[in-house]
Amino acid sequence: MTSRNYLLLTPGPLTTSRSVKEAMLFDSCTWDDDYNLGVVEKIRQQLTALATRAEGYTSVLLQGSGSYAVEAVLGSAIGADNKVLIVSNGAYGARMAEMADLMGIAHRVYDCGEVARPEVQTLEAILKEDTAISHIAMVHCETTTGILNPIAEVGVLARQYAKTYIVDAMSSFGGIPLDVAELNIDFLISSANKCIQGVPGFAFVIARTAKLEACAGHSRSLSLDLYAQWRCMEDNHGKWRFTSPTHTVLAFAQALAELAEEGGVAARYRRYLQNQQALVSGMRELGFRTLLDDVFHSPIITAFYSPDDAQYRFKEFYSRLKEQGFVIYPGKVSQSDCFRIGNIGEVYERDIISLLNAIKHAMYWKK
Ligand SMILES: *Cc1c(COP(=O)(O)O)cnc(C)c1O
């Protein structure tokens, strides 16, 4: 265990600012007004405001990592007589299908492979043919590859065919401008340790209030009952049902303040985009190839093919980068040999330049 702090170029947990970490040096009382009214309620309002300017939306926070909230939404929003169409092009889409399976939720999967975008015409054909479908669930930025999925086009379909629309915007919310009302999203899921740049410990859902109210009594789980969690927060001014991740929540409040200081989501998006563009052009100069075509890329994370060299080992490359202060991510795609580099977190273009320099030094197979 080294005491040196390295830069996490991973999409959560990610590198946070010192002030975000320092915000945790305080022990809050889980039912005190200072905490619930003063911190939790403010966060809930700020999150709803970040998601849309329209009326009729609310937010709810839930203990656990992002997957807990995805599972809570699927398990609470989809009733016993409903059926969900899950759009999948990576590990997180596949995870939703696994959750639906385990919870006994009727579902159909449209899998378009890992390096392509789902086709809206195909989705429309499915909706026309399979009228039992009542919900559509899709990932916005599929972190497996960094691909950005067409949430607006699918939102139009959801409206046209009157389907409840669930979007896993885990790795994009706060880093890519969006408006849930414009996109017709009913449930948007994200977590504390991604683009808002907080520390791990809870996730959150922005929901159309009327749709959340309709979730009463659906949940397949006690702890992951999104409606009950929301009801408790609504009725008790920000009180969590079970022990709340108090330190994480304080860090998140600070992270939200820093997002505003930076200039909001639009400014953060520009920074991530600069990071990503500097990374891709520098990596190409070093001879690396991206997994995706440029038009598919998000500014969040980029997958690169592993070098085609018999001497190359990800582990060795990884350790040589870590020694120089950078932590990258292994690949998650099943079809190709890749590694990934995240662009989000307290990371600036100068860090990407230093990273590229470190990569040049870590390319031992070239020596
Ligand atoms: C990070 C992430 C999740 C949640 O993963 P956890 O490990 O449970 O935090 C879900 N979907 C996407 C797209 C993600 O990037």
Q: Is the pLDDT of residue 336 over 90?
A: no
Q: What is the structure's pLDDT at 334?
A: 76
For atom 3 of ligand 1, the residue with the nearest CA is 66
Please give the average per-residue pLDDT across 256-264, as a whole number: 98
Name the residue among 259, 261, 155, 247 with its Cα closest to residue 202.
247
Ligand 1 contacts CB of residue 139 (under 6 A): yes
Q: Is 349 exposed, middle or buried (0-12, 13-18, 19+ CB in 10 A)?
A: middle
DSSP element (H, E) containing 140: none
pTM: 0.97
Rounded to an integer, what distance in angstroms lies between the CA atom of residue 267 and that of residue 259? Answer: 9
In this prediction, residues 94-106 reach a mean pLDDT of 98
Tell me the CA–centroid distance for residue 67 and ligand 1, in Å: 6
168 within ligand 1 shell (Cβ under 6 A): yes
Atom of ligand 1 nearest to the CA of 193: 9
pLDDT of residue 3: 47
Q: Is the CB of 201 under 6 A from ligand 1?
A: no
Confidence (pLDDT) at 238: 96
Q: What angle do CA 106, 66, 31 make, to 5 degrees?
A: 110
Mean pLDDT of 146-159: 98
What is the per-residue pLDDT across 166-214, written as a single tens digit (0 to 9) for each?
999 999 999 999 999 999 999 999 999 999 999 999 999 999 999 999 9
Q: What is the spatial distance between Cα 24 and Cα 318, in angstroms, rounded to a whole number?
A: 30
Q: State residue 310 phi and psi, 5-degree precision.
A: -60, -25
Token pair belonging to 319 = 């350790």
15 lines ligand 1 (CB under 6 A): no
pLDDT surpasses 60 at 22: yes
Confidence of residue 2 (pLDDT cuts 50, 70, 90): very low
Per-residue pLDDT, 4 = 59
- Residue 11: pLDDT over 90: no
If one residue of 65, 205, 300 were mutated to test the ligand 1 pocket, choosing by the most ligand atoms within 8 A of its CB, it would be 65
Compute φ and ψ for 349, nearest 5 degrees. -55, -35
- DSSP characters over 202-222: EEEEEEEHHHHHTTTT--S-S
Mean pLDDT across the chain, nearest whole number?
96
Ligand 1, atom nearest to 169 Cα: 13
**Strand ranges (DSSP E) for 185-275?**
187-191, 202-208
Shortest-distance Cα residue to atom 12 of ligand 1: 170
Question: CA 311 to CA 292: how far, in whole Å?
Answer: 24
Q: Is the CB of 89 under 6 A from ligand 1?
A: no
CA separation for the pair 304, 292 (Å, rounded): 8
